[in-house]
Structure 1
């Protein structure tokens, strides 16, 4: 914020009723998990606990993540916590702020998992723009990325850009309905707070 062009945080700006007509916000489910690299060999528990603490999470949070992820590898918990702390939790806060201000809000999670890469940062972009035939897309997504999902996601976002409903329930702070874009796309309650495996289950 420079006090001239940018005078408020997104949350502060969106807290003002009528700041914008509508908001659509979402993330991939595993935005930055890949930052920690190959976690086939579990990192030391002390290092993971310190990493969690650096993100503002407790030892109890670590246990909760391991349970929710169904994993005995603490590195998996730290990787998901990194994505949640950096992308998903802030998106949820912004959506809450906009919805409380009466701004029509929709949220989504991109959960389709690319081979060897997961639902990572930028994995959604060829789907957003319906360009699975882009030269670099197969290297990122593999050879069998679902065209039907690209068409569905692209259509939804274009509809929203034209002032229409993207095709799923508006977000409220009571239910936090979220569209999960995957092989079997569906709505979930509080999708921005669920672990990737939980998102794949039907409501």
Structure 2
């Protein structure tokens, strides 16, 4: 956006740009983007080494974010082993990453392996780093898998549960989405809005994640840690 606008990439420079021009440029840049497989897109950034922000934060992601883009488009089937290798080279991901992800998911297709890695690279990794930069953070993961079109725990699926409005999310969740999960998530979000505490455990060095699922939800410490370490090592 800074390049398109001809301004420095700073908050002050963006603030000085005419609002309509700023919105038009945003639409143009985002229109070229794919949040999973690349392109100029927005993503979460936590400034390295910055002092923790004194704030309350409830933050998280869905376990299979990528499936909203990969499954309906058929990309999950089109990605071959060669495509996966090329993606690893493009994003400078070590080959052992694919081996590790594959070993934990026997029978997974190359497109699913690529999607799982993209979800961690673009969502789970940055979310963990963002939680580290905030004084009081609660981190969650939405894990319930929708049966609709094999979407699984895809991007956007959690919204109907958070707002306790399953009736209006049938296209993603189906007709038999678990009401008890909606009750639990809605209760947590309301509690956070009222008190800053959604329940569960506040983020610390043990990386506690509140996993929302059905038939049961609960805190898991450092989920899929070996896979997560790949992205930490990649940044060093």
TM-score, normalised on structure 1?
0.80
In the alignment, is residue 146 of structure 1 matched against residue 178 of structure 2? Answer: yes
Which runs of no fewer than 5 residues in structure 1 stay unpaired?
196-203
**2:67/2:151 contact within 8 Å kept:** no
Q: What are the Cα deviations for residues 151-174 of structure 1, in whole angstroms up to 9, with x where unaligned?
A: 10011011111124211011112x
Query: Once superposed, what is the RMSD of the aligned Cα atoms?
Result: 2.6
Matched length:
186
CA distance in 2, matches of 1:166, 1:48: 39
1:3 to 7, 11, 15: 11
1:144 to partner: Cα distance: 0.6
1:199 equivalent in structure 2 = none
- Structure 2 SS opposite 1:113: coil
Question: Closer, same or farther in 2 for the Cα pair 1:177/1:6, shift >3 Å?
Answer: farther
- Superposition pairs of residues 1-203 of structure 1, within 5 angstroms: 2-4=10-12, 11-12=46-47, 15-17=50-52, 19-37=53-71, 38=74, 41=77, 43-98=79-134, 103-115=135-147, 116-134=150-168, 137-173=169-205, 175-183=206-214, 184-191=216-223, 193=225
Q: What are the Cα deviations for residues 40-86 of structure 1, in whole angstroms up to 9, with x where unaligned?
A: 75743121111233333221100000011223522221111111111
1:201 equivalent in structure 2 = none
TM-score, normalised on structure 2?
0.70
Question: Closer, same or farther in 2 for the Cα pair 1:4/1:39, shift >3 Å?
Answer: closer
Question: Closer, same or farther in 2 for the Cα pair 1:193/1:142, shift >3 Å?
Answer: farther
Question: Closer, same or farther in 2 for the Cα pair 1:185/1:14, shift >3 Å?
Answer: farther
Q: Which has the higher helix share?
A: 2
1:39 to partner: Cα distance: 6.4
Q: Bigger radius of gyration, 1 or 2? A: 2
1:6 to partner: Cα distance: 7.1
